[in-house]
Structure 1
Amino acid sequence: MPDKSQSNIDKVLSNLAENEGAALERLFNFLRIPSVSTVSEFAPDCQKAAEWLAAQFEGLGFTASVRQTPGRPILVAHSDEAGPDAPRVLYYGHYDVQPADPEELWTSPAFEPVLVDGPVGKQIVARGAADDKGQVMIWIEAFRSWRAVMGKLPVRVTVLVEGEEETGSPSLKPFLKEYADELKADVAVISDGNMWDVESPSITTRLRGTVYTQIKLRTARCDLHSGLFGGVARNALNALTQLLGGLHDEQSRVQLPGFYDDVPELPDELARQWAALAFDEAALLSSFGLATPAGEVGRPALERLWSRPTADIHGIWGGYIGEGRKTVIPAEAQAKISFRVVAGQDPQRVVQCFRRFLDERRPADAQISLEVLGMEPGIEIPSDTRWMRAVRRALGDEYGKEAILGGCGGALPMVGALKGILGMDALLFSFGLDDDQVHSPNEKFELRCFRQGARAHARLLAELGRAV
Structure 2
Amino acid sequence: MSLSSVLEKIDQDLDGALERLMDLLRIQSISTDPAYAQNCQDAADWLVADLKSFGINAEKRQTPGHPMVVGHVEGDGPHVLFYGHYDVQPVDPLNLWHRDPFDPAIEDADGVKVIRGRGASDDKGQLMTFVEACRAWKSVHGTLPCRITFFFEGEEESGSPSLIPFMKENAAELGADIALICDTSMVAPGVPSIASQLRGMLKEEFTLIGPKMDLHSGHYGGTALNPLHAISAIVSSLHDETGRVSVEGFYEGVHEVSDELKRQWETCGFDEDDYLGSVGMSKAHGEAGYSTLELQWARPTLEVNGLWGGYNGAGSKTVIPSEAHCKITCRLVGDMDPVHVRSVVRKHIEARLPQDASIKWDNDIDGAKASVMNINRPEFEAARQALSDEWDREAVFVGMGGSIPIAGLFKDILGMDAMLIGFAQDDDRIHSPNEKYNVESFHKGMRSWARVLEALSR
Query: How high is the TM-score relative to the length of structure 2?
Result: 0.97
Q: Does 1:341 align with 2:332?
A: yes
1:198 Cα shift? 2.9
The answer on whether the counterparts of 2:303 and 2:328 sit within 8 Å (CA) in structure 1 is: yes
Unaligned residue ranges in structure 2 (runs of 5+): none
The answer on whether the counterparts of 1:248 and 1:254 sit within 8 Å (CA) in structure 2 is: yes
| Aligned equivalents of 1:141, 1:272: Cα separation in 2 | 34
1:247 to 227, 232, 238: 238
Counterpart of 2:240, as a letter, is D
| Aligned equivalents of 2:272, 2:216: Cα separation in 1 | 47
After the TM superposition, which of the residue ranges 45-54 and 168-177 deviates more from structure 2? 168-177
Superposed counterparts of 1:33-48, under 5 Å: 33-48=27-42
The secondary structure found in structure 1 opposite 2:341 is helix
The answer on whether the counterparts of 1:204 and 1:408 sit within 8 Å (CA) in structure 2 is: yes
Alignment-derived partner of residue 381 in structure 2: 389
Alignment-derived partner of residue 79 in structure 1: 73
1:224 Cα shift? 1.4
Unaligned residue ranges in structure 1 (runs of 5+): none
1:412 Cα shift? 0.8
Superposed counterparts of 1:410-425, under 5 Å: 410-425=402-417
Alignment-derived partner of residue 160 in structure 1: 151
Alignment-derived partner of residue 61 in structure 2: 67
After the TM superposition, which of the residue ranges 265-274 and 124-133 deviates more from structure 2? 265-274
The answer on whether the counterparts of 1:319 and 1:330 sit within 8 Å (CA) in structure 2 is: yes
Alignment-derived partner of residue 26 in structure 2: 32
| Aligned equivalents of 2:360, 2:248: Cα separation in 1 | 18
1:297 Cα shift? 1.4
1:441 Cα shift? 1.2
1:278 Cα shift? 5.7
1:71 Cα shift? 1.9
Superposed counterparts of 1:29-428, under 5 Å: 29-80=23-74, 82-83=75-76, 86-119=77-110, 121-277=112-268, 279-372=270-363, 373-428=365-420
| Aligned equivalents of 1:52, 1:435: Cα separation in 2 | 28
Counterpart of 1:263, as a letter, is V
The answer on whether the counterparts of 1:198 and 1:449 sit within 8 Å (CA) in structure 2 is: no
| Aligned equivalents of 2:387, 2:180: Cα separation in 1 | 14
RMSD: 1.4
1:17 to 11, 25, 34: 11
The secondary structure found in structure 2 opposite 1:361 is coil
| Aligned equivalents of 1:198, 1:265: Cα separation in 2 | 27
The answer on whether the counterparts of 2:384 and 2:396 sit within 8 Å (CA) in structure 1 is: no
| C-alpha distance 111-407 of structure 1, shift in aligned 2 (>3 A) | same
The secondary structure found in structure 2 opposite 1:389 is helix
2:448 to 438, 453, 456: 456
The answer on whether the counterparts of 2:85 and 2:155 sit within 8 Å (CA) in structure 1 is: yes
What fraction of aligned residue pairs are identical, expressed as a percent? 46
After the TM superposition, which of the residue ranges 111-120 and 437-446 deviates more from structure 2? 111-120
| C-alpha distance 393-278 of structure 1, shift in aligned 2 (>3 A) | closer
The answer on whether the counterparts of 2:3 and 2:451 sit within 8 Å (CA) in structure 1 is: yes
The secondary structure found in structure 1 opposite 2:383 is helix
The secondary structure found in structure 1 opposite 2:136 is helix
The secondary structure found in structure 1 opposite 2:330 is strand
The secondary structure found in structure 1 opposite 2:87 is coil
After the TM superposition, which of the residue ranges 176-185 and 196-205 deviates more from structure 2? 196-205
The secondary structure found in structure 1 opposite 2:98 is coil
Alignment-derived partner of residue 438 in structure 2: 446
CA deviation map 1:133-178 (0-9, x unaligned): 0000010001101111111111111111111111221221121111
| Aligned equivalents of 2:33, 2:185: Cα separation in 1 | 26
| Aligned equivalents of 1:408, 1:380: Cα separation in 2 | 10
The secondary structure found in structure 2 opposite 1:424 is coil
